[in-house]
Amino acid sequence: MSDLAVAVATFRNRPASRRRRTKSAVLTALLIAAVVVALGVLAWVLVYVGIQGFGALSPAFFTHNPPGNPSVAGGGFFNGIAGSLIVVGIAAAIGVPLGVGAAVYLVEYGRGRISGTIRFFNDVLIGIPTIVIGAFVYAIWVTRFGFSGFAGSLALAIVILPLVTRTTEEMLRLVPNDLRESSLALGATRSQTVLRVSLPTALPGIITGAMLAIARAMGETAPLLLTALGNDLFTQLNPGKRMSTLSLQIFDNAATGFREAQSRAWAGALTLIAIVLILTFVARYFGRRVRTAGDR
């Protein structure tokens, strides 16, 4: 307010001088330039990956494994794509229910300091480097049971969990209390109210949050280096063994220095971006419905 008070004295009864208007126009232009830069980079990344990826994509990319010799053309990332689906699938099966449960606790059960603490550390966990999560899973799991797709799933579940908790909590808070009170007034127990009233009402939003978290996990590479390790040449569908994922294969093939391997990596990058963007768009579609429903 004080800034405003000072400003009143400065501007009173004085139409904006040309100098001030020019300054405003110049700075507005600078701000818009920032947007142009941001969107320009986005377009640059998407178009570049699109061009490189489409040039390298073929039906065989989705049905074959990489050739044993990285300098040979052809082959694909079938094992990585299958591995990504399995690893992320298990991670979601672990992380999403736990995240929803934690959010139910925060909104429907928790109170006071404990839930405040949990909420705070949940936000902090979102910002923990995923490579550290990978090192942690290595310490608790890989040291005992060896590298495996499942270890990768554990790491990604820790990536997914706090994101799901956060969005589910926000969605549960949008459920009107009237609904809960009506349910309780009808004689439903608390758990019945949660399971039959609160969660179903918030479901579209919860799905959105889960899909965005899964999209994020799909693109993760660093924690998988320390857990799933990768298994470049063979199809491995058993999560108890070391496994390749799409992201790991892009990383490995991009670094080889062979043009042929790099072009497979570009096809992989395009596939990965496509998966992530489709998940994001579908999630946003659900999310838009939620938001319009929640508009005041």
Partner 1 sequence: MMPPATAGGIVAIDGPATRISLTRRRRRPGEAFFGTGVAITGGIVLVLIGAMIVFLIVQGLPAMRHYGFFSFLTSARWAPSEAKATVTTPNAYGIVQFIYGTALTSIIGMLIAVPLAVGVALVITEIAPRRIKRPLSSLVDLLAAVPSVVYGFWGIFALIPAIRPVVDFLTSTLGTVPVIGAAFGGPFFGVSYFTAGLVLAIMILPIIAAVCREVFRSTPRDEREAAFAIGATRWEMIRIAVLPRARSGIVGASLLGLGRALGETIAVTMVIGNSVLTINHSIFSQGATMSSVIANEFTEATEPFHLEALFVVGFWLLIMALVVNATARAIIRRGVAV
CB of 127 to partner 1, least distance (A): 4
Residue 285 C-beta: closest distance to partner 1, Å: 11
Q: Which H or E run includes 283? A: helix 259-294
Q: Is 234 in the site for partner 1 (CB under 8 A)?
A: no
Shortest distance, CB of residue 164 to partner 1, whole angstroms? 11
Nearest distance from C-beta of residue 210 to partner 1, angstroms: 13
Q: What is the DSSP letter of 66?
A: P
Q: How far apart are CA 221 and CA 160, in angstroms?
A: 14
Contacts with partner 1 in 98-127 (CB under 8 A)? Answer: 98-99, 101-102, 104-111, 115, 117-127
Minimum CB distance to partner 1, residue 289 (Å): 11
Neighbours of 143 (CB within 10 A): 9
For residues 165 and 126, give the distance between their C-alpha atoms in angstroms, rounded to a whole number.
10
CB of 61 to partner 1, least distance (A): 16
Per the CB < 8 A criterion, the answer to whether 66 and 254 are in contact is no
Query: What is the separation of C-alpha 245 from the centre of its chain, rounded to a whole number of angstroms?
Result: 16
| Residue 77 · residue 268 · CB < 8 Å | yes
In the region spanning residues 181 to 220, those forming contacts with partner 1, defined by CB under 8 A, are 181-182, 184-185, 189-191, 194, 201, 215, 218-220
Check binding of 280 to partner 1 (CB under 8 A).
Answer: yes
- Rule CB under 8 A: choose which of 74, 129, 200, 240 binds partner 1: 129
Residue 40 within binding range of partner 1, rule CB under 8 A = no
**How many CB atoms within 10 Å of residue 34?**
9
Binding of partner 1 at residue 282 (CB under 8 A)?
Answer: no
Burial class of residue 108, CB neighbours in 10 A (0-12, 13-18, 19+): middle
Residue 209 CB, nearest approach to partner 1 (Å): 8
Residue 277 binds partner 1, judged by CB under 8 A: yes
| Footprint (CB under 8 A) of partner 1, residues 54-93 | none
**Window contacting partner 1 (CB under 8 A); options: 7-15, 66-74, 75-83, 85-93:** 7-15
Closer CB to partner 1, residue 58 or residue 289? 289
Quickly list H helices, 138-258: 143-145, 149-173, 177-185, 190-193, 199-219, 222-225, 246-254
Among 60, 72, 128, 237, binds partner 1 (CB under 8 A): 128
Task: Select from 79, 231, 244, 247 the one that contacts partner 1 (CB under 8 A).
Answer: 247
Amino acid occupying residue 52: Q
Distance CA 66, CA 268 (A): 11
